[in-house]
Amino acid sequence: MSRESSPLPEARWFWALAAAGALVALAGFGAAHYMEEHGHIVTGMNNQIVWGMPHVFAIFMIVAASGVLNVASIGSVFGQAAYKVRAPLSGLLCLALLAGGLFVLMLDLGRPERIIVAATHYNFTSVFAWNVFLYSGMFAIVAVYLWSLMERRMNAWSKPAGFAAFAWRIILTTGTGSIFAFLVARQAYGTALLIPLFIVMSFAWGLAAFLIVQATMFAWNRLALPPDIQRRMGNLLGLFVVSVLFLVAVLHMVNAYFAKNLAFERFLLVDGGVYPVLFWGGYVVAGSLVPLVFLWHPRLAGPRGLVVASLLVVAGAFALLYLFIIGGQAYPLDIFPGYATRSTFGDGAFQAYVPSLPELVLGGGGLAVAFLITVVGVRVLRFLPQDDLRPAPAAAGAK
């Protein structure tokens, strides 16, 4: 296949991208060090809002890491050839996003060197202790799965490894959703509906992240995705987006059914300042309805429409997580039901939160870690999906 340029400029672009990713990751380390040295006073967090913007980044990447592996599962577990050729890239993105999410999570908690304590002393009544095993197990299983896919003599084990990865990713997302589902102290959480919601969110967000990376790789190599595969993946993304929208609506309807949660639901959806704007404008409209138009409208559907829809789904994911994580903490705790609570500590008061620059840089550092792993992995090994590839229309006449 002909190329428009020599390998040398491409090599320079690779090193430039790798250097940019490394710099942003290093800035994330610097932001974490700055926050550790000065304390949370330099962030937007306080005694009531203890999970800030870094957790939004971390939860998105961890949930998307589970969901992006769904592409490989459709191929290996359900035997769909169009998805099976995408399994190596799917596995790579799973490891990259999980590493990026844990990068943010560990550095945001403070005293990251004490991970040794968490890794050697377990409280099995805590969901967080379960997740230590779930995350490390995910790394191990996906690594074996990739080995079985990319080593010819191990190909016979790819299907069992694919089944194991599929089962483990469901368990991992269940564990992530359980962190909030078992947290009964906050009215935003404490419901079993969060477990299926997190699983379906992982499907949508992981597929959106995969489509963005795949489109970038194809554009980099001046290739075009076969139209039938593009249509199938676009329809699947639309189905996942609708499913998430439905479960989010059910979650709020169930909460609003109980009188004790009516004030909280009104805060999130009507008069909570930035939170209703993020929900209706950021998630419902920009992150769900507009992507569906780009995916299913006859004139807008296509390669560009698929990428735009995927980007909007990711943006909507951040809006929803901000609402869910930050908004759920901003509403005052109902410590004594039926009584008003006031104190100099801030009990009974709505909490304001504005993300600080170090928080945003730390979150960006996690994305940079995932980006760097993906760029290096694609450069070193053969992760480009091997369809019956053809040059993109603009490059079809290249000699």
> pLDDT digit string (tens) for 64-97?
999 999 888 887 777 777 778 888 899 999 999 9
CA 343 to chain centre: 37
State the pLDDT at residue 346: 64
DSSP at 180: H
State the pLDDT at residue 389: 53
Mean pLDDT (whole number) for 254-271: 86
| Rounded to 5°, angle at Cα 311 from 228 and 103 | 115
Nearest to 384 by CA among 146, 175, 172, 89: 89
How many CB atoms are closer than 10 A to CB 160?
13
Minimum mean pLDDT range among 273-277, 279-283, 286-290, 329-333: 329-333
Residue bearing the bigger pLDDT, 391 or 208: 208
For 159, the 3-state DSSP assignment is helix
Q: Which domains, ranges and CATH numbers included, belong to the chain?
A: 14-383 (1.20.1630.10)
Print burial letters for 136-157: b (CB count within 10 Å at least 16), e (below 16).
eebeebbebbbebbbeeeeeeb
The model carries a pTM of 0.88
Tell me the pLDDT tens digit for each residue of 357-390: 999 999 999 999 999 999 998 888 877 776 655 5
Burial group, residue 337, by CB count within 10 angstroms (0-12, 13-18, 19+): exposed
Tell me the pLDDT tens digit for each residue of 320-365: 999 999 988 888 777 666 666 666 666 666 788 889 999 999 999 9
- DSSP H helical ranges for 151-224: 158-181, 194-220
Per-chain mean pLDDT for the chain = 85
